[in-house]
Amino acid sequence: MSTYKVTFLPDNKTVTVEAGTTLLKAAENADVYINSLCGGEGLCGECRLQIISGNAKADKIAIGFFSSNEIKDGFVLACQTKVNDNLEVMVPARSRIEMEKIITEGVQVPAPSGTSPEIGINYSEPTHVNLHKLPRDPALVDHPLVMKVFLELTEPTLTDNISDIDRVIRELRRKLTQQDYEITLDCLRHLADTLRNNNWQVTAIVAKHNGLGRVLEIEGGDTTDRHYGIAVDVGTTTVVVQLVDITTGKVLGVEGNHNLQARYGEDVISRMVFACGRGSLDALHQAVITNINSLTKVLAKEAGIELHEINCMVVAGNTVMSHFLLGLPPCSIRLEPYVPTAMVYPQILAAEIGIQISPDAIVEVLPSVSSYVGGDIVAGVLACGLADRPEISCLIDVGTNGEIVVGNHEWMVCCSASAGPAFEGGGMKWGMRATKGAIEKVVIADGKVEYNTIANAKPRGICGSGLIDIIYELRRNAIIGPDGRFDLSLKERRLFTDAEGPQYILAFPEETETGQAITITETDIANLIKSKGAVFAAIKSLMDYIGLKFEQLQAIYLAGGFGSSLRIEKAIAIGLLPDVDKSRIHFIGNSSVIGARMSLLSTAVFQKSIGISRKMTNIELSAYPPFMNEFIAALFLPHTDKKLFPNVKL
């Protein structure tokens, strides 16, 4: 079969592919990232490329996504364009991911009254707690998921000639409360030499498994001061890894990157369609393993440690991401009655899934609650302490899905609402992720538009927080009505109508990187109202199900990257968040990785995560009739029921 070369600009990466390969696949082979919300189905129009040289034409599907001028300039969809010539293509700014804002840590949270038994902090004083730097409880120091125990063994004699492993276990019983142990075969094979070559002074690396102590490895000498683990947040959009010194609890470094699975679809549904249909589960599995390995290598090198010194990994992710990580088929998750393969996952060894740390390191995945409420939400509950306190609180994690938990130390109720990709820029004419050049803040006053972009770059598009601002500012200035429609009677130079309908110019062509005006359309506004309506309707449905009013919530915790960039007053004003005292609303950043780290450092906390997952009552909104009524009522700014937003003056 014929082969051709494809060069991707501006990265100047060249790859050779067989004839008939799509440009999207060629980009993947060249390690060039291209936006693809739909996973290559030709439905989103995000994977746009410009042909600089060579013959390639936009197909019938692609034509609908481009203007006549763009088609003349050689624009095509990467997923629908096959390579049958040597090509040089440009990846436009809006199709690339550059300098993405990744939330890798938690932020300060007001501390409630009482004492947390897991954390050991006295909350009697009105202080703030940084979730990323929680003080270590003595129990956490003594009982991490994996322990290192220094052993000084007596040499065998004719009167004391028990086996080598029994000699090790006898000493472990003297030092630890655990009495029954098992040992890996690999460790057993090297045990005799390790003991005798180190004068019977060794360090045992021990974990718990099915009620037994599990001897993972025996190291020569005293290595207890070099004991490391990694906490991982596998998000749909990003992957974050923290390297932790298990002896001290100190975070030695943190790195994050875009989830490589995005080339198969931006949301979990499109990725499940790929894995269970025209693609393969292994591709999704290998993508996230590559993410974790590359980030871990960077952290280990920066910290000056060897990969084999990392003995434990705890992962938090939504249910689909957890399935992909472990190579479990996710196909039944998206089909009624929405049943996952598992919700509590087995302890495995790193080598079993290709994680490049110590081959005998254990990997634990935080448990899920349902098909669409996963271990990342369980981790968030751990991080904010919702399950530890008598006060009723609410945890909200907004992304493509909006997951909500309401409860306290006695009960918890949760749900998941499909918010769609609008909050992450998907499905919007100029929407984009929170990367370089994204408009993230907007103020409109006296006909003037002031905006801030990420990295202070020329505007490329609009990210989720910018979209919230825009809707608020347009409504505040009466440019749109409560239904989100433009007032076309206004004499406003930024407001115009074309074949796409009414639009409002945020940045004129001379201001932008592309040389095209960045606008928001009436369709964009309608999509965003649907997204915010779905989230608010889910929160309202959950509160009504429990029989509570919003004013009874002592705290609302906002987790995730999108939540950390919201302007609270604007999110309330458009009806995304409940109208409560703003002092009760707190950003907690990446609570997923924090919960994973807490579990890494404490067997008790990890076991508690399983209890939390089993304690939560999940409400399936698709089978809960009041939700649809609440959703329809929320399709206004801020809401059809103004009594729910008494403090909003728009």
CA–chain centroid gap for 504, Å, is: 32
Higher pLDDT, 117 or 616: 616
Token pair for 210 = 């099915």
62 has pLDDT over 90:
no
Task: Give dist(CA 650, CA 646) in Å, integer.
Answer: 11
350 to 98, 239, 325, 374: CA distances (angstroms): 31, 17, 11, 21
1 has pLDDT over 80:
no
pTM: 0.86
105 has pLDDT over 70:
no
Closest CA to 80 of 39, 29, 52: 39
pLDDT grade, residue 14 (50/70/90)?
Answer: very high
Mean pLDDT of 532-547: 96
108 has pLDDT over 80:
no
* Angle between helix 281-303 and 268-276 (nearest 10): 120
Mean pLDDT of 375-386: 96
Residue for token pair 């899934």: 353
136 has pLDDT over 50:
no
Task: Give dist(CA 16, CA 403) in Å, integer.
Answer: 43
Which pLDDT score, from 0 to 100, does residue 99 have? 52
In 3-state terms, what secondary structure has residue 119? coil
Task: Please state, rounded to an integer, the average pLDDT across all residues of the chain.
Answer: 88
Closest CA to 585 of 440, 380, 441, 393: 393
The proportion of the chain whose per-residue pLDDT surpasses 70, expressed as a percent, equals 91
Task: Give dist(CA 544, CA 621) in Å, integer.
Answer: 13
482 has pLDDT over 90:
yes
* Angle between helix 626-633 and 522-546 (nearest 10): 140
Q: Which of 53-67, 240-254, 275-289 has the lowest mean pLDDT?
A: 53-67
Domains by residue range for the chain, with CATH:
3-95 (3.10.20.30), 139-220 (3.10.20.880), 228-365 (3.30.420.480), 384-421+531-638 (3.30.420.40), 422-528 (no CATH)
First and final C-alpha spacing in the chain: 64
Which pLDDT score, from 0 to 100, does residue 315 have? 98
Mean pLDDT of 232-249: 94
534 has pLDDT over 90:
yes
Mean pLDDT of 597-603: 95
Q: What is the pLDDT of residues 157-200, one digit of tens each?
A: 999 999 999 999 999 999 999 999 999 888 899 999 999 999 99
Which pLDDT score, from 0 to 100, does residue 122 have? 30
138 has pLDDT over 70:
no
Write the DSSP assignment of 448-467 as a string of letters: EEEEEEGGGPPP-EE-HHHH
Closest CA to 261 of 82, 101, 37: 37
pLDDT grade, residue 139 (50/70/90)?
Answer: very low
Which pLDDT score, from 0 to 100, does residue 47 have? 85
380 has pLDDT over 80:
yes
Q: What is the pLDDT of residues 507-523, one digit of tens each?
A: 999 999 889 999 999 99
126 has pLDDT over 80:
no
73 has pLDDT over 90:
no
132 has pLDDT over 70:
no
Mean pLDDT of 276-293: 93
Mean pLDDT of 421-433: 80
110 has pLDDT over 70:
no
**Longest alpha-carbon distance in the chain:** 102
Which pLDDT score, from 0 to 100, does residue 424 have? 73
> Which pairs from 495-501 meet CB under 8 Å and 24+ separation?
500/429
pLDDT grade, residue 443 (50/70/90)?
Answer: very high
Mean pLDDT of 588-600: 94
Which residue type, as a one-letter code, is found at position 621? Answer: L
CB 91 within 8 A of CB 47: no
pLDDT grade, residue 366 (50/70/90)?
Answer: very high
Which pLDDT score, from 0 to 100, does residue 106 have? 60
* Angle between helix 591-600 and 375-384 (nearest 10): 80
Mean pLDDT of 452-475: 93
Task: Give dist(CA 556, CA 303) in Å, integer.
Answer: 36
Which pLDDT score, from 0 to 100, does residue 596 have? 96
CB 324 within 8 A of CB 276: no
* CA atoms within a 13 Å half-sphere pointing along the CA-CB vector of 33: 18
319 to 323, 421, 562: CA distances (angstroms): 6, 18, 20
